[in-house]
Structure formats: structure tokens, C-alpha cells
Amino acid sequence: MALTVHQFACLDDNYAFLIRDDATGLAATIDTPDADAILAELDRLGWKLALIMNTHWHPDHAGGNAAIQAATGAAIVGPKEVTRIAPLDREVGDGDEVRLGETLFRVIDTGGHTLGHIAYHDAADRIAFVGDTLFALGCGRLFEGTPAQMWGSLQRLAALPDDTTVYCAHEYTAANARFALSVDESPALKARADQVFAARERGEPTVPTTIGLEKATNPFLRAPLLAPGEPHEAFGAVRAAKDVFKG
């Protein structure tokens, strides 16, 4: 693989992702949930940070931008909405390319959780960083967008190859699994939920996941099978049920 991904937990339930283009040694961080933790980890790895790649403006994703840029001189790329809390060196949107050494990322508009949310897709390595859009067995809350917008965003991610490795920004999977089991009786989901609960008991992460696994078991991607109406309406109904679920 031409891209090394170093994932670690930070804050309450965030994941930080430090990535390195192996050909050139250039490194980037996907979002900046915890500046101190990310800088310490860069130091430990001996990686030189060239780029900060934001998915959306929320403070647990862009809040460390200024401190990390001050310490490393890394350039910041992200969607325009990030300028609500911090300046960007380069604004990117749907279809734009972001290069880290020899690794090429394509920006995918995945608005819904926030209006300007984006994902970064490295097709050559079959890797996607999806922020708070798609979670293992879940999806982001609709803070700013509509169900139709989020459904469209999820469909764009679902259209990636099944073996795409998906890095989501939070460890929410056990709670997501409890909700999923309340709306979906599929045996594949039951089997996966058992694995998730066991992994969390052992303190193991359940991220990354894959597009294929999410298509098979994620109740938000399976919404048209679980609720009536047009697909985006079914998705909206499942999302609304999750918002009030007390598991």
C-alpha cells in the first residue's frame, strides 16, 4: 500500500488519522480533533506534517487547526465552511483533487451532517476518510442538512467499491448496533453486532469499516428495506427514529 494510515483514539470518542505517502514521506492529518495528542503522535512517529485535511467545521474536527499549523507549518485544505472557525489555505469542493506526495485524493461532497461536509477518497489505495457522514452501522446527525441531502451523500459513498476501507471519525459503533438491532432483523446485522459488542468489551476499535460491510448491515443504507416511502423518505424516518432512540 502506498499510503500508511495511523489511527488513534482521542477526546471522548473521536479518532485521529495521521497518514503518510510512503513514496515521499509526506504526512497529513485528517481533521484536528486534539492538537496536543496529534502533535505528540507526530513526534513519536517522526513524521513531517505537510497537510491538514478537514472534513467539516465542527470543533472536534477543525478545532486544532491553528495550533497544529503553528507547530508544523502544514497547509490547511478543507470546505469553505471551516472558515467559520479558522482560516483555510485552500478551499476545496466536490471533484477537486488534493495531492499528498504521490497519493491523490478526490473530494466528494457529502453534505448533510453539516452543509459543506466533504469526504476524501484515495481510489488507488481504496481508502476513504468520511468524517461524520458514514459511521460503522450509523451515520451523522443532520445538524444542518435535509434527509434528502444526506441520503444523496450516503449514496455517493455507497457507490465506491465494496472493498474500500472507510475511516469514520468516531467510535459510536456499539450504540449504533443497539439501534440497528431495534429496526432491522437481518442475520448479517445480528452477527456483526455480536462481533462489535465483543470487540468493544476487549477495548478494540471497530473502525475502519468497509463500504461492502456497511451496505450489507448499516440500517441507514438499508433504509429503503426498513421503512416506507421514497428512499430518502425511508432514510429520513430511520434517522428520526435514531435521534430519539434510548438504547
Interface contacts to Zn ion, rule CB under 5 A? 58, 132
Catalytic residue (one of 58, 117, 121, 232) = 58
Contact 214, 138 (CB under 8 A): no
Residue 132 sits in the site that holds Fe ion (CB under 5 A): yes
Shortest CA distance to 9 belongs to which of 157, 172, 127, 192? 172
Cis, peptide link before residue 87, omega less than 30° from 0: no
What's the alpha-carbon Rg for the chain, to the nearest Å? Answer: 17
Question: Which residue, 79 or 101, has its beta carbon nearer to Fe ion?
Answer: 79
Catalytic residue (one of 122, 132, 184, 232) = 132
Contact 137, 176 (CB under 8 A): yes
Residue 60 sits in the site that holds Fe ion (CB under 5 A): yes
Closest approach of Zn ion to the CB of residue 117, in Å: 8
Active site residue 6: no
Closest approach of Zn ion to the CB of residue 48, in Å: 28
Residue 34 sits in the site that holds Fe ion (CB under 5 A): no
Which is it for strands 14-21 and 90-91: parallel, antiparallel or unpaired?
unpaired
Dihedral (C-alpha) 110, 160, 13, 28: value to the nearest 10 degrees? -80
Interface map 172-211 toward Fe ion (x if CB under 5 A): ----------------------------------------
Active site residue 61: yes
Catalytic residue (one of 61, 117, 121, 232) = 61
- Quote the strand ranges of 72-126, DSSP E: 75-78, 90-91, 97-100, 103-109, 118-122
Closest approach of Zn ion to the CB of residue 81, in Å: 11
Stretch that binds Fe ion, among 95-103, 131-139, 176-184, 220-228 (CB under 5 A): 131-139
Closest approach of Fe ion to the CB of residue 104, in Å: 25
Provide the residue count of the chain. 247
Dihedral (C-alpha) 154, 160, 164, 167: value to the nearest 10 degrees? -30
Q: What are phi and psi of 72, to 5 degrees?
A: -120, -20
Residue 21 sits in the site that holds Fe ion (CB under 5 A): no
Active site residue 113: yes
Residue 81 sits in the site that holds Fe ion (CB under 5 A): no
Question: Residue 242: which of Fe ion, Zn ion, none does it interact with, CB under 5 to 8 A by kind?
Answer: none
Closest approach of Fe ion to the CB of residue 194, in Å: 27
Which is it for strands 14-21 and 26-30: parallel, antiparallel or unpaired?
antiparallel
Question: Which residue, 60 or 171, has its beta carbon nearer to Fe ion?
Answer: 60
Contact 117, 133 (CB under 8 A): yes
Residues labelled as active-site residues = 56, 58, 60-61, 113, 132, 170
User: Interface with Fe ion by CB under 5 A: which residues?
Assistant: 60, 132
